[in-house]
């Protein structure tokens, strides 16, 4: 469903303008559709590709202790102490 400059975006995604400049923008849900970025005139934006909402909860893996390293198989080991 096309949206006009000044309206609120209902679906996050990549949108294409209907003006002669054929602009493409990425816009998030609840943001306001801008005018054409090239000529600053009002335009109609059509959804070209829907994107998923960004989650605030990104899973975090525990970080290894300082000095601990992992081999290519994920096994922990203590690196040798370099003398110098």
Residue 37 pLDDT exceeds 70: yes
Residue 59 tokens read as 């899973």
pTM: 0.60
Residue 79's pLDDT band, with cuts at 50, 70 and 90, is low
Q: DSSP secondary-structure letter at 24? A: E
| Domain layout of the chain by residue ranges | 1-52
Indicate whether 76 pLDDT > 90: no
What percentage of the chain has pLDDT greater than the value 70? 65
Angstrom distance (rounded) from CA 15 to CA 25: 5
């Amino acid at each position: 469903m096309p949206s006009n400059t000044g309206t609120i975006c209902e679906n996050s995604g990549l949108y294409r303008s209907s003006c002669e400049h054929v602009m493409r923008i990425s816009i998030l849900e609840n943001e306001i559709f801008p005018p054409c970025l090239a000529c600053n005139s009002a335009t109609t934006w059509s959804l070209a590709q829907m994107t998923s909402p960004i989650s605030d909860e990104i899973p975090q893996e525990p970080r290894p202790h300082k000095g601990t390293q992992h081999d290519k198989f994920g096994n922990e080991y203590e690196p040798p102490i370099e003398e110098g």
